[in-house]
Structure formats: C-alpha cells, structure tokens
Chains A and B, each alone.
Chain A
C-alpha cells in the first residue's frame, strides 16, 4: 500500500500533536500541514508569560526545521479557503491546492467579541495569538488603564498580562461572579477578594451597552446600570467560538451552537474527514482544554491503523483543572458546583487566610462528585484521584478538605490507586506506566520522569508522582538508601548541614564525630564529597595537609589527568576575552613544554600532554603572563561564556562581555557538588547559548533575564526562565542565593539540571526560596557566598610559591627521571599519545 496523503488544517497545539503523533507512529503517511498563523505551533496556554519575559521562541512547540526533519510538508501564513469533498482536495486563500486521502481539521477557535456598538474601534483588541499580544503591548505602551471584558479563565489570564505590562487592570464580567463555569458562588467570591487584594479591579453584573470616545482616556464603556468606565484599551476575552466555517461551507454536520460534529473516532459526517480539538463538538460538548485535544488527536491518528486493536476512541474527557491565576491557586473537579440532584456538599471557608474549599459527595457520602478549591490547591491531587478512580471515601469525608488540626490530613496512599489511575494528565501517564518504568530499571523520580515524561508538562502531579515512585520502590523491598557511602550514614546534604552547624573543618574530625566507624579511612566517594563541602564552606586551599589526601587526582595536581597519566592545563580566560600578549605567552608555553593545544567549548585554551613534574614550571610561566588557574579540573565554576555584546555587535543591547568577566571573577574558585557553567548573551539572539548553562544571563533592553538549571552534554536541558529585567545588583543577589542553595542541597556529583528535576515544588518553589526568601535563609546564603569571594586565591599561585606543595609534583620521590611509559607521536603538527602498536614499536627500538 502506498503512503496515505494526510492534510492537517491548523497548526495549533492540538494540530501539532496530531502531526507529531502520526510521524512517530508506524503508519506510512505523507503529511501536509497548513497553518493560518505565520509561525508553527506554540504553547497558547502560557501565552501571558510573554509579558513576563518569555520569548515567542520559548513558547514554540516545534520549528520549520523540525517539520523538515520528519518530512512534513508545512505551509504557514496561508488559510484554507475551501474544502472540495468530491475532488478530495483543499484550496488555500493563496491559491495552493492540496489533495488528500484523509483530511484533519484542527482549526481551533476564535475569541468571541460581543457585538457591542463601538467594539470595532482602535484599542479594542482580542487575546488569542502571539500577534494579538504584540497589539496589546503596543496599545498599552505608556498608558495607565486596561479593561478585560470577560471574567472567565482566559479573561483572568489576560488581566494578569495587562498587570504585567504595568497597567491598572480591570475585569468587566456580565455574570454575577468570576469563573462562573468552574466555581460555585462561594469560590467565586473568595477568588474576587484575592485578586482585588492584588490590585485588579473587578466589576461584575455589568452589561456593556456602548463603547464611545473617552473624555480623559481613549475609550469609555457605558453599562446598562448607567455607570461608566474610562480606559485606554479594551481586550475581549468573553469566551471562544469554534472555527467551523470551512466545515459549514463544505456541508459537514455542525452542532446547534457551533462546532464540527464528530463521533467517538473523531470522524465528521464525511468518513474521510476528521476534526479534533476546540473546533470539534462531541455530543453537544466542546472540549476547550489542551489535554482532551491531545487525546482526540491520538484517537484520530489511531483510526489510520489497519488493525482494529490499535484503534482507540475518544469518549469524552475529564475537565477538572488546577491552575494559578494572577498567582492565586484555583482548582475545579468534576461537578464542582454540586449541580447533581443527590449531591451533598461540605464547605470550608477561611476568610482570614482567604481559602475556600467545597467538596461535593454522593448522598451516601461514599464518592467524590466534584470540588471547588480557591486559595489552596494542596488537596487537589488527592481529591482528583478519588474522583477519577471512583475510590470510596473515608467515613468522615469532611476531613479531606479541613485543615489538619492534629497530625497530617488524610492523603491517598499510592497503593489505593488502580493501575489505570491517571497520574499525569498532560502526558497521559498512568500509574501502570510508572510501575512499568520502575520494572524497567528506573530507580528515582528523575529516572521515571525521563522515561515517561510524567510531571514534565504543567508539573502539577510532581508530588503525587513522588508518592507513587517511593511506594513502588519500597514495596519491591528496594530500600531507598540515600547514605553517601558505607562510611557515613548520611546524605551529602546532611553532611553539609552537620559540617556547617558544628563548624567542623576537616575530614578526620567529621569521621571521628559522625562516621559510621570513627576509625575508618573513608573512600573515593566520601573523601572528595567532604573535600568539596569543606571548600564550599571554608574555602581553604585544596592542598592544605588536612585536605590533600581527600582530593581526586585532578584536584590534587590541579590539572586534568588524561588517558596516559599526563595532564592538561587550562588557564582562566574570563568571559573569553584575551590579550594578544597572553595568546603569545600561551603559545610560547605550549612550545617550550611540547604541549598539544586545543580551543575548548568554553572559550579558552587547553594544553595537553603536560608531565606531572613540569606542572609547577608551566604554571610559573603562565602566572608571569598574567594567567590564573581555570579550575578546569575542579567541581567548580568552569567558564562564563559570552558573545561580544553591545560593544561591537549591531544587535547587542548590553555589554555581555563585561558582565561575563565580572561574573567569572565573582564566582571563580567556588566549589560545588559538580562543575557548573555560565554564559551571558548580549541580546535575545543568544549567541552565547546561555540557555544550555547552569546559570544563563540574557540581556534585555531593560536589564538582564536570568535562566537557571540548563545543561548541554549527555542529557541536554533547556534552562528555565527564572527572573526578568534585573539590574546587575539584583542579578548577582539571585545568583549568589541560587548557587549557594544548590551547593547546600544537591547530592554529590549532581548537576543543577538533575537537582532541579528532583526539587519538589519545581520552579515556583525555587523562586520562592531565592526571590521571596520563603525559608528565611537568603541572608545566610549571601554571606556564605561573600566569604568564598573574599577568600579567593589562585590555587596555582599559592602552590608554586610553597616548596612543600611543589614537592608533591615530583614524578618519583627518589629519582629525577620521567615516566618512560609516556610516549608521544606527531600528528597534524602536534603531539598525541602513542597507540599500543606505536608504543611497542618505539620500546623495541629503545631496547635494540
């Protein structure tokens, strides 16, 4: 059979998910995508974060290049004008014609703009696409007041966006309460209190009759109750309507209130046309959330299989949702308002802390029917699992939402969940999937995340995921042993806290007072770990006598051991900026000592093939030329990479080189659980690749955006945007705190990326600790960092001036000979270690 011709109309989140799912499947298909927007699919859910510093590139879910790689024929910026069902082809506004075997409509929806007289004038806008955001931003520039029409979920998101733009945000809602679809009256009132406290003005029961020219401001809204409101701009977010015109024109069946009618297989009234996502209606219901859209996409793809067993249905989806609106936690589960006849409610309201919870249960009190949560969503995961899996409630269901007075609130044990329980709804991961991952060898939450993608979408299920993983590991008799090694019954974090609080400054003392056996020697696990902790805390020279035996060979000889036992030498080149004379000196040292030279990825020069006994002389020469140690051998700051920035570049908006040099000089020598890297880019083009670093800084017109926990290497991770438009003082403050918090809490040899993946509470928690000082430790973290900065020394400079330390670099304690096993040959004009064959040949020659 030849490949099916599949044409997908629409490239929103759901359309893209269809394409990706199909491309990943075994189905042979030629895929064509036609997107009306000028760019490929992006994350519409997090649209308002664009005003919080996110770039459109960061919202992107795919790229043109990616589509090319997976052989998808993609066209953007051209709308489909017509479906010709007889000829089985679609025609675009631009006149392109595409033939199909199967057509998929993923046209999404458009914002409903109520036909209020005057709605179509300037500064009356919609909130739906990235381009809309551009218009909103332009309209808001230099203005004071913005009104959002619509107090639903999207309206409040939009109000947040206006607030982030620096406007006084007003929400105008026709109904008596906010988020009327999801919340009951009590929840709605509490939500209003909370967001009013944040400075958002809320006007409910307001029917807008007319929009006219304002007297003071640009526009005036006139309401049915004879009141008025002046504003600089209006954004409509009063609900969405399915984009179904194409289907209507092609005589496909549409729902009474719009939407393309589909069956359980997502087929429309034409067997060769599917509809998925917000443009589709299944049994009078439009699923306006992304997770159900994804499920529809998967169901539609599966219909293309020949084998019936592989076909899945979409029979509706749970619309429970948990989110943060303007920083307020809001959750809604099932029948949240208790509309069902047999529903019985428990309500808890705390007006002092502004928390509202409503639990709707069946008349016999056994089952959860729904819930509303405002101000505190900590019970959401548990309640949702009871609801989705039809689990029997305890005898006192009210305890589920009451604050714990004595001991912990009842949480749902992971053992009570059936294998089919959905743990992560973003990626459709069930408890069964997690169990399978653990059976397949996953031993940590991070492993399971990597294997199943659970908790990598919105992250709301992270705590539940951890419960399930812990429970499963425990039930397999795998005691999760977090001891660092046999010599200390503690984690690295414990040891750090012990050393810090008891002011212990040597390994021997730590072993004597806190070791499993006080006369143990330790090992190659605990010794370097403790050496690193001591260095982070007290910052003594690594070759002080109490520390020297603890160091890995690289730290001991302050160079990187290579396969033949020789070392490589990397002097520091802060920010990658180097004087011509220093380059010449580097070349001279390489020539004098016969070293192989290579440029590193971190914008410096690595000199290979140095014999141990030559290291002090090499370093004396480098120090004379103005170099310092580059800590290329240490679990410490490596480099701060930079682009040339505004000094030279046409596009740069800040001096990225200067900032990189300052950062490198500030944090050089800081030892950590693992190596860490930084970079500073001078503009959003990001030439320094800061988002692949542990700490990335990107210049903006207003300051610096800070990214954290990125990684290149074996397991690349895109850094998370941590804070935006910082001045340099705040930037340094946040980095100080961030690094010290990482140093304090990470496991040994754990990079920031893995540490972050295991951090309960994720980015929000980290922000809380670093920005809001939620643990009350920031002052301590900063003063600790200051101590390390104040006590910095170039380890090599200290070493070459100390006869005792230089003694350590002798190849033999009883001879001046060199290691006869180190043999080099020449290649491309430089040395390299000899291969086995070459080595034997040269040894034979020496003997004969």
Chain B
C-alpha cells in the first residue's frame, strides 16, 4: 500500500491527540484513527484505533497521553484504561487495539 496523506502537521496538537477518518476502497466502513503528536519522542507521531473497546465509543484521540515507566500510553477518557501508543496493548486488560504506521514528512502527516 502506498503512502496516504492524512493531514497537515499544523492540524496536530502537541502532546495531545486528534482523530482522522481513514477511507479504504475495499471496505465500505471507514476507520477512525487517533493520531498523537509527541514532539519530544523519537517517533514524534503515533496512530492507533480511535475505538475504545472497553467503553465502546470512538474516544481515544481525546485521552491524555503520558508514560508509565518506559511505555508511552493514552488514557481512555471514559474509564481511564491505558493503551500503548506503540503496540496498542491495554495495560490493565488482555485487549489489544489496532496500530497504524504513521510518519511526518515535511509539512504533512502520512499513513504508510
């Protein structure tokens, strides 16, 4: 799959998340992805599913990001479970959510 432009870097909010809609041609149901911009980390940008499987709502982009020791996480705004930004693994539960390869190139944010 080729690189897909999602948005402009200026659409991101440092140390917080936004939500983007991923239209896939083979699937009628579009996917919501949560994109987090952490300028002080090596990767700088992370993308995971916006769907909170525990609270059952599209809200993860609206959670607070942080770290638990070395793990970068977002806390669900509904019931506060933490999900790894790198792996999608839930810290409190045996649940893993989808992650997406994402990168910044120049002024734009791309999904690979």
Q: How many angstroms between the C-alpha atoms of A519 and B67 in the bound complex?
A: 10
Task: Return chain B residues, CB-CB under 8 Å to A810.
Answer: 18
User: Are B77 and A549 in touch, CB under 8 angstroms?
Assistant: no
Closest chain B residue to A526, Cβ basis: B66
Closest chain B residue to A843, Cβ basis: B29
Q: How many angstroms between the C-alpha atoms of A526 and B75 in the bound complex?
A: 12
Closest chain B residue to A847, Cβ basis: B28
Q: How many angstroms between the C-alpha atoms of A192 and B36 in the bound complex?
A: 72
Q: How many angstroms between the C-alpha atoms of A521 and B15 in the bound complex?
A: 8
User: Are B21 and A814 in touch, CB under 8 angstroms?
Assistant: yes
Task: Return chain B residues, CB-CB under 8 Å to A812.
Answer: 19-21, 32
- B window 47-78: CB within 8 A of A: 51, 55-59, 62-69, 72-73, 75, 77-78
A524-B20 contact, Cβ under 8 Å, with A553-B63, A557-B62: no
**Residue from B21, B40, B75 with most neighbouring chain A CB atoms (10 Å):** B21
B9 vs chain A, min Cβ distance (A): 11
Closest chain A residue to B5, Cβ basis: A814
A545-B14 contact, Cβ under 8 Å, with A553-B59, A564-B57: yes
B89 at the interface (CB under 8 A from A): no
Q: How many angstroms between the C-alpha atoms of A557 and B61 in the bound complex?
A: 12
User: Are B77 and A552 in touch, CB under 8 angstroms?
Assistant: yes
Partner of B64, one of A549, A564, A817: A549
A617 at the interface (CB under 8 A from B): no
A528 at the interface (CB under 8 A from B): yes
Partner of A814, one of B20, B64, B72, B73: B20
User: Are B80 and A813 in touch, CB under 8 angstroms?
Assistant: no
A405 vs chain B, min Cβ distance (A): 49
User: Are A813 and B18 in touch, CB under 8 angstroms?
Assistant: yes
Q: How many angstroms between the C-alpha atoms of A810 and B20 in the bound complex?
A: 10
User: Are A523 and B59 in touch, CB under 8 angstroms?
Assistant: no
User: Are A819 and B62 in touch, CB under 8 angstroms?
Assistant: no
Task: Return chain A residues, CB-CB under 8 Å to B102.
Answer: none
B38 at the interface (CB under 8 A from A): yes
Q: How many angstroms between the C-alpha atoms of A554 and B63 in the bound complex?
A: 10
Partner of A521, one of B12, B59, B72, B80: B72
B11 at the interface (CB under 8 A from A): yes
User: Are A819 and B58 in touch, CB under 8 angstroms?
Assistant: yes
User: Are B20 and A553 in touch, CB under 8 angstroms?
Assistant: no
Q: How many angstroms between the C-alpha atoms of A549 and B39 in the bound complex?
A: 12
Closest chain A residue to B12, Cβ basis: A813
A777 vs chain B, min Cβ distance (A): 32
B16 at the interface (CB under 8 A from A): yes
Contact with B along A796-826 (1 / 0, CB 8 A): 0000000000011011111101011100000
Contact with A along B1-27 (1 / 0, CB 8 A): 000001100011111101111000000
Q: How many angstroms between the C-alpha atoms of A524 and B15 in the bound complex?
A: 12
Closest chain A residue to B75, Cβ basis: A524
User: Are B57 and A565 in touch, CB under 8 angstroms?
Assistant: yes
**Residue from B6, B75, B82 with most neighbouring chain A CB atoms (10 Å):** B75
Closest chain B residue to A564, Cβ basis: B57
A17 at the interface (CB under 8 A from B): no
B55 vs chain A, min Cβ distance (A): 7
Q: How many angstroms between the C-alpha atoms of A553 and B76 in the bound complex?
A: 9
User: Are A553 and B15 in touch, CB under 8 angstroms?
Assistant: no
User: Are B21 and A817 in touch, CB under 8 angstroms?
Assistant: yes
Task: Return chain B residues, CB-CB under 8 Å to A821.
Answer: 51, 57-58
User: Are B58 and A553 in touch, CB under 8 angstroms?
Assistant: no
Task: Return chain A residues, CB-CB under 8 Å to B11.
Answer: 807, 813-814
A330 vs chain B, min Cβ distance (A): 51
Closest chain B residue to A816, Cβ basis: B21
User: Are B69 and A486 in touch, CB under 8 angstroms?
Assistant: yes
Q: How many angstroms between the C-alpha atoms of A847 and B16 in the bound complex?
A: 34
A728 at the interface (CB under 8 A from B): no
Q: How many angstroms between the C-alpha atoms of A556 and B14 in the bound complex?
A: 14
Contact with B along A723-762 (1 / 0, CB 8 A): 0000000000000000000000000000000000000000
B28 vs chain A, min Cβ distance (A): 7
Task: Return chain A residues, CB-CB under 8 Å to B32.
Answer: 812, 819
User: Are B64 and A523 in touch, CB under 8 angstroms?
Assistant: yes
**Residue from B15, B38, B40, B63 with most neighbouring chain A CB atoms (10 Å):** B15
User: Are A561 and B18 in touch, CB under 8 angstroms?
Assistant: no
A520 at the interface (CB under 8 A from B): yes
Closest chain A residue to B17, Cβ basis: A549
User: Are A561 and B77 in touch, CB under 8 angstroms?
Assistant: yes
A563-B78 contact, Cβ under 8 Å, with A549-B65, A556-B62, A812-B21: yes
Task: Return chain B residues, CB-CB under 8 Å to A817.
Answer: 21, 30
A550 at the interface (CB under 8 A from B): yes
Task: Return chain B residues, CB-CB under 8 Å to A521.
Answer: 15, 38, 40, 65-67, 72
Partner of A553, one of B12, B68, B77: B77
Task: Return chain A residues, CB-CB under 8 Å to B64.
Answer: 523-524, 527-528, 549-553
Partner of B59, one of A487, A519, A552, A561: A561
B7 vs chain A, min Cβ distance (A): 4
A542 vs chain B, min Cβ distance (A): 13
Q: How many angstroms between the C-alpha atoms of A358 and B13 in the bound complex?
A: 69
Task: Return chain B residues, CB-CB under 8 Å to A414.
Answer: none
Task: Return chain B residues, CB-CB under 8 Å to A808.
Answer: 13
Q: How many angstroms between the C-alpha atoms of A557 and B18 in the bound complex?
A: 12
Contact with B along A675-718 (1 / 0, CB 8 A): 00000000000000000000000000000000000000000000
User: Are B18 and A520 in touch, CB under 8 angstroms?
Assistant: no
A329 vs chain B, min Cβ distance (A): 47
A719 vs chain B, min Cβ distance (A): 30
Q: How many angstroms between the C-alpha atoms of A847 and B28 in the bound complex?
A: 9
Task: Return chain B residues, CB-CB under 8 Å to A177.
Answer: none
**Residue from B32, B63, B69 with most neighbouring chain A CB atoms (10 Å):** B32
A547 vs chain B, min Cβ distance (A): 10
Q: How many angstroms between the C-alpha atoms of A564 and B67 in the bound complex?
A: 26
A824 vs chain B, min Cβ distance (A): 14
15 A-B pairs in the complex with CB atoms less than 8 angstroms apart: A521-B67, A522-B66, A523-B68, A524-B66, A548-B16, A549-B15, A549-B65, A553-B63, A556-B62, A561-B77, A563-B78, A807-B11, A813-B11, A821-B51, A821-B57
Besides A521-B38, A807-B11, A812-B32, 10 other CB < 8 A contacts?
A: A521-B67, A522-B67, A549-B14, A549-B16, A549-B64, A553-B64, A813-B6, A813-B12, A813-B18, A819-B58
